[in-house]
Amino acid sequence: MKRLGLARGLVAVATLAILAGACTGTASPGASGGGAKAYSIGFSNPGGVGNGWREAMLCSAKAEAVKTGEVTKVTIIHHDTDANGQLADIRSLIAQGVSAIIINPADPDALNPGIAEALAAKIPVVAVDASVTAPGAYNLSNDQVQYAYLGASWLFKALGGTGDVVYMRGIAGHPADTDRDTGFKKALSENPGIKVVKEVATKWDPATATTQINDILSSGLKFDGIWTSGVDSTIVDALKTAKHPFVPIVGADNAGFVNQLLNETGLKGAAVTNPPSVGGAGVKLATQILDGKPPSATTVHVTPELWDNTTDAGKASLKAAADPKINPLWPLGLTIKDWTDYSKDEVIACKGPGE
pLDDT tens-place string over residues 169-190: 999 999 999 999 999 999 999 9
Hey, which residues does 307 pair with through a beta bridge?
271
Q: Residue 104 pLDDT > 80, yes or no?
A: yes
Q: Does residue 243 carry a pLDDT above 80? A: yes
Angle between helices 83-95 and 112-120 (to 10 degrees): 10
Q: Report the C-alpha gap between 303 and 138 in whole angstroms.
A: 17
- Return d(Cα 240, Cα 236) in angstroms, integer: 6
| pLDDT of 233 over the 60 cut | yes
Residue 35's pLDDT is 57
Give the architecture (CATH level 2) of 144-272: 3-Layer(aba) Sandwich (3.40)
Q: Above pLDDT 70, what percent of the chain?
A: 90
Confidence of residue 302 (pLDDT cuts 50, 70, 90): confident
- What global pTM score does this model have? 0.83
CA 219 to CA 99: how far, in whole Å? 52
CA distance 47 to 172: 11
pLDDT > 70? residue 322:
yes
pLDDT surpassing 70 at residue 2: no
Residue range 5-48, pLDDT digits in tens: 223 233 222 333 322 222 333 333 334 344 578 999 999 999 88
Q: Which fold has domain 8-142+275-303?
A: Rossmann fold (3.40.50)
Residue 296 pLDDT level (bands cut at 50, 70, 90) = confident
For the segment 245-284, what is each residue's pLDDT rounded down to a tens digit?
999 999 999 999 999 999 999 999 999 999 999 999 999 9
Distance between CA 323 and CA 249 in Å, rounded?
Answer: 21
In order of 59, 140, 141, the CA distances from 339 in angstroms are 15, 10, 12
Domains of the chain, by residue range, sit at 8-142+275-303, 144-272
The percent of residues in the chain predicted with pLDDT above 90, rounded, is 84
The predicted structure's pLDDT at residue 50: 85
Q: Which pLDDT belongs to residue 350?
A: 96
Give me the pLDDT at residue 153, please. Answer: 98
Determine the 3-state secondary structure of 198 from DSSP: strand
Do domains 8-142+275-303 and 144-272 share one topology? The answer is yes
Angle, helix 278-290 to helix 52-68, in steps of 10 degrees: 30
pLDDT at position 53? 94
Residue 247: what pLDDT? 98
pLDDT of residue 337: 86
What is the pLDDT, as a whole number, of residue 75?
98
94-99 mean pLDDT: 98
Q: Does residue 4 have a pLDDT over 80?
A: no
In this prediction, residue 259 carries a pLDDT of: 97
Mean of pLDDT over the chain: 90
pLDDT tens digits for range 187-225: 999 999 999 999 999 999 999 999 999 999 999 999 999
From the list 145, 160, 305, 274, the residue with the least C-alpha distance to 225 is 160
